[in-house]
Structures are given as structure tokens and as C-alpha cells.
Structure 1
């Protein structure tokens, strides 16, 4: 299920930057853009919104008053602003994060990680039987007739071997009967990216990048021609060393 996002800002350039960044993340969907808080109120009243990015200085109604006006069960809110003066007030109102313009993608990824965790908690608590379930931070794969739990943060990269893949972790390697496309779809797109027909990598584990390769844990991994532009865009913009 995608996280439905509403962007509220009268700054066209800021909206364009944020929209470009969010396009990299398949789990997040921009469902509308409003250039003032009044239109945003109306949209939220008529539609389901999971996450709102809102500026502070806007015509008609500022971002702080907009947040104060949100009713019971409001969407998650991230403030985007050109100054830091409202950060304390914003967090006192329960915003999830505060981003200073211009919004850089490596800073945004930290926010999206928070959002995903909160979104998973919210979904779990809607079901009484799952109300104590922890937010998803792992995957189970079948290895030697056993289901092995592997935490996302332990995965370095995944290598394809025809009908099998090797999940490379900092604790060891796990071979499982999967194809690379299928296992990549099971992983969160804000943490993992496919860079080659034979490789999917953990973005935040990248240590170095050159013309055609990236380095993770001392291993050189090639980037495929069809993947290299997107991979470089994300990695060079600072998605490495996030967590």
C-alpha cells in the first residue's frame, strides 16, 4: 500500500524539487499539490491523505495555523521551511519532521524512513490482533528448508545466480531460491535499489562510487547500463551513509 502525500506550498521551485525527490520512492505517491492551506484543508476533508508536506510562510493561512486546524486523526505532517525559527513550535504540535529548504534527498530519506515506520505502526494498530506488532524491519527467506529472518539493516547487497540469489549480509551469505526481481519487490524502495540485472544493493551501505562500479564492504559491484543513471542520481545526491 502506497503512502498518499499532499504537498502544500506556494513556492513552485520547492515543490518541483520535492516532487523530483519523491519520484524516486515507489512507496510514496503524490496525490495532490496545493499552493495554499485553505485548499489543502478542503482536499484533506474530501480525500484520504497519509502524509502532508507543508510550508510555513504561505498566503491566506500560514503552515503553523494549518497544523493547528487539523482535526482528530490527522495525517502525518512534515514541515518544509526556509528558516529554522518554527522548529520548536512545529515539534510541539506533533509534526514528524522539520526540513529546511532547499530539501536535499539524503535528509529527505531520513524523514521517509520515519514516515514508513509510523505508517506501519498505524496499519498494525488498526487490527486488534496485531496491535502489538513491531513495524516491519526485516524479511524472511527460505534457506535449507528453514525460514531465516534477515534485518534490512544487515543486508549489504543481493546477487543473482540464475534461479537463486545470494543475500550478502555483514554476518554471512544466504542462498535462496528466488529471482532478483521478485526479492527486490519485497524490499522497501527507499532502502534498496537495483543497479544491474544481477545486483540489488542497500543504498545506505555504499562506500564509494566511480564511473561504472560502486563499492560496498570492499566489494566492487558493477552498475548496468539501464540502471546507472538512476543509481548515480540517488547515490551521488547523498543517500549513502544515512543510518
Structure 2
């Protein structure tokens, strides 16, 4: 979960953002403030992951608030005006949401910031085991280790895990690029498998969880090269 703080002098805007955050599985609203001054005191003592902050507020503006933080979190500026965009992005803002904010735009922004934070974590720790996928209207965190195999269908992919199956509106290639190369291998134009989940191999077929998965000639060489590493 990514800890979020909402700062806006308009009550209706605060409620909308709180509601949208509550609908997003990987976001958690930990505090809400109506002024930048109150928020600054909190943020200096309580680090968070994501900041939703209105730019044009009385007293301490959103831009002044972010400048006052020694290490600002990932910041999304919200505003009723478009003329602050340049100033916002000069502060390396992750996004700039113009009011009234609808849920579709909020969701796209949330996906962007989750990817940004994940990439930052990967770069700092070298851990690329977890990633997010969009399932219906939610971004769901998956651990690569939990995946048995991935099946590409006509317009989406089916991710098979021990707990359940996830229908994801993406391509097999996009998923493949996110997986650890030393643990997953493409064996067919429609299948990627977790090497550690293979139960047996016979007659150019892999058995995983009772499922017979074909090994196509195109991918045979790479597959058996990786198998020999086990």
C-alpha cells in the first residue's frame, strides 16, 4: 500500500480525492488537510509515499509546500487552472490533475505513480519480483514467484497463480518484459511459464498444475538452455 496525503482548501475536492483513493486497491489515505501549513508540520514528522496537493491555496501554496520539504514524496498537483503546469513539472511532479477530476483520469495517474515508485524501488534495491497489473478498474500487485504460467488469449492475458486466475487487458510481450528473465521463459506464442513450477516435460509438452503446455519449435532452444541451468 502506498501512503497518501490529501491537501486542499476546498472541502468537496478533498472528499472526491479521498473517495477515489479509497477505490484504489494500492493507495491508502493516511491524512487530509485543508491548509499547506498544517500539512507541512505533519509531513516533516511523518513521511508518506504520495502527495495530492492543490496548487492555489491561501497562506502556503502547494508549490511552496513541496519546496519546503527536504525530500518530497511523489507529488501530484491538483488545480482548477492550467497556467501552473510549468512550475509544477519544474518540481518533478509525477502528474498534474485539472479539476474537476474524474475517476478515469485519476486511475491513469495512479497507475503512473505506482510504476514510478516501483521503478524507483527496483533501482534502489535490485528487487524486481513484484509488479502491478490492471484487473478491471484496480491495479493489483503480483509477486512473480506466485505465478505458475501466463496464457495469452485474443485480446488479453490470463495469469495463473496458486490462489486464482487474473484476466489482464495487456499483451503477453508486456508481461514478459516485467518478469525475471532467469525464472520465466516463453515456450509458445501463447504461453510463458515459471521454470520453478514445471512438474514434468514430455514429448515437447510441459505439465504445470495439470495443464499441458506446448513447447513450440521457435522457443525450444531458449527453453532447454534455461532448463539446463537448474
TM-score by length of 1: 0.58
Equivalent of 2:153 in 169, 173, 177: 169
Gaps of at least 5 residues in structure 1 are: 143-147, 151-166, 185-200, 206-243
Of the candidates 77, 80, 99, which is equivalent to residue 79 of structure 1? 77
| Deviation for aligned residue 1:136 | 2.5
Structure scoring higher RCO (CA < 8 A, sep ≥ 6) equals: 1
Deviations 1:183-239 (A, max 9, x none): 55xxxxxxxxxxxxxxxx54799xxxxxxxxxxxxxxxxxxxxxxxxxxxxxxxxxx
Q: Deviations over 1:88-126 (max 9, x none)?
A: 110111111000111111111111011101111232233
Residue 136 of structure 1: SS of its match in structure 2?
Answer: strand
Alignment match, 1:88: 86
Q: In structure 2, how many angstroms separate the alpha carbons of the residues matched to 1:175 and 1:65? A: 44
Residue 30 of structure 2 corresponds to which residue in structure 1? 31
- Flag the 1:176–1:204 CA change in 2: closer, same or farther, 3 A: closer
In the TM superposition, what is the alpha-carbon distance from 1:64 to its structure 2 partner? Answer: 1.6
Residues 1:100 and 2:84 aligned together: no
Contact 2:3/2:50 (<8 A) preserved: yes
The Cα RMSD (Å) is: 2.9
**TM alignment of 1:38-53, pairs within 5 A:** 38-53=37-52
Q: Whose radius of gyration is greater, 1 or 2?
A: 2
Give, in angstroms, the shift of residue 51 of structure 1. Answer: 0.5
SS of 2:31's equivalent? strand
Deviation at 1:172, TM superposition (A): 7.9
Would you say the 8 A contact 2:54–2:79 is kept in 1? yes
Matched positions, count: 160
Whole-Å separation in 2 of the counterparts to 1:173 and 1:21: 27
TM-score for both structures, normalised by structure 2: 0.61
Residues 83 and 177 of structure 1: CA distance in aligned 2, closer, same or farther (over 3 Å)? closer
Tell me, in whole angstroms, the C-alpha distance in 1 between the residues paired with 2:3 and 2:113. 11
SS at 2:114's partner residue?
helix
Does the alignment pair 1:11 with 2:10?
yes
